[in-house]
Amino acid sequence: MSGHRSSSRAPLRLTLTAALAAALPVAGCSPGGAGAGDRAGERPSVASAGRGEAAAPHADSPFWVDPRSDAARQAAVYEAAGRTGDARLMRRIADRPAAVWPAGDDPVPDITGAVRGAARDGRTVVLVAYDIPQRDCGRYSAGGAPDADAYRAWIDAFAGAVGDAPAVVVLEPDAVPHLVDGCAGGSAEERYRLLSEAVDRLKRQPRTKVYLDAGNPAWIKDPGKLVEPLRRAGVERADGFALNVSNFRTDEAVVAYGTRLSGLLGGLHFTVDSSRNGLGPLPGAEGGEESWCNPPGRALGRPPTVRTGHRLVDAYLWIKRPGESDGTCRGGPAAGTWWPEYALGLARRAADPPARGGPGAAG
């Protein structure tokens, strides 16, 4: 169930919406030289964004849009080639915030760049910590830190690079579900310790929200099986859990599942990855690689927002970066590699969904 990259809560916890509103730096006053912010009615072009200017964020999203993302660059390429329709479609990805997955060898440069960009724009950065030892059980996204001490050093560097910037961190996609399905094997006890320590280290940063990954409804179908593993991994000291990372389950299915899991965990909140679930999962592919590895005919889902309409859902996020491959299946490049044709398909189907398009389709 991969498809990722190759490479203490207060008793009365604020919702993410309120916490982020309080944490967002004021443009022009934050460390790193924030600018004057967005002017009403102005929307920089993707070409200008490629020169370092930020794309205009959506009003209901406090999250940072990377002006140098692969999607932004692709849109500029299409514009230069006269493919204005394709450029317009690609901006449906380029102009929306997606998570940053820092490199496994050294997370500091990627995080530093994202934090500085977000500070200039007065936004919150969304990050993914993905370097647990024996990551992805040796599959498409195999890798991770070579041992426990290396992982501790990586997480410490990750947290240090975030500093006091407002940030949302999704912690180790797949790591807990793999503990449940037995993939972690003899390293289970060590993994529990490392995840728990990672939660504590990240929560030392004053404005960092941490969501521990809990898979998706098609993987560990009984949420009760996740309760004790999530607790042992430190979820009750985090801000909640994350669902549907790099997967295609509909918002409705994920929220129903998350609500059940939350009820078993004393009401913890959660986030939903809606990056590619606009038409739901591939019909007839309920499990196995064909359901999550570059499935054809999918579409962008609900744009990132903290206005979720559900008291337990802190945010819809684009954790999987739309257009990055899930792995070398169905003709795709290596996991995490930009695949413009797939990206364009996601955007096109979201822009003009069929009459009976699935829930969450971006219109």
Question: Looking at the annotation, which residues are catalytic?
Answer: 136, 174, 326
> Is 237 within 8 Å of 216 (Cβ atoms)?
no
d(CA 136, CA 35): 40
**Is residue 238 classed exposed, middle or buried when 0-12, 13-18 and 19+ CB atoms within 10 A define those classes?**
buried
d(CA 100, CA 110): 8
Contacts of 62 (CB under 8 A, 6+ apart): 20, 21, 24, 123, 124, 166, 306
E strands present in the chain? 125-129, 167-171, 208-213, 240-243, 270-273, 313-317
E strands present in 47-182? 125-129, 167-171
Give the pair of three-digit tokens for residue 167: 């940030």
Contacts of 211 (CB under 8 A, 6+ apart): 168, 169, 170, 171, 238, 239, 240, 241, 242, 270, 271, 314
Task: Give residue 137's Cα distance to chain centre.
Answer: 20
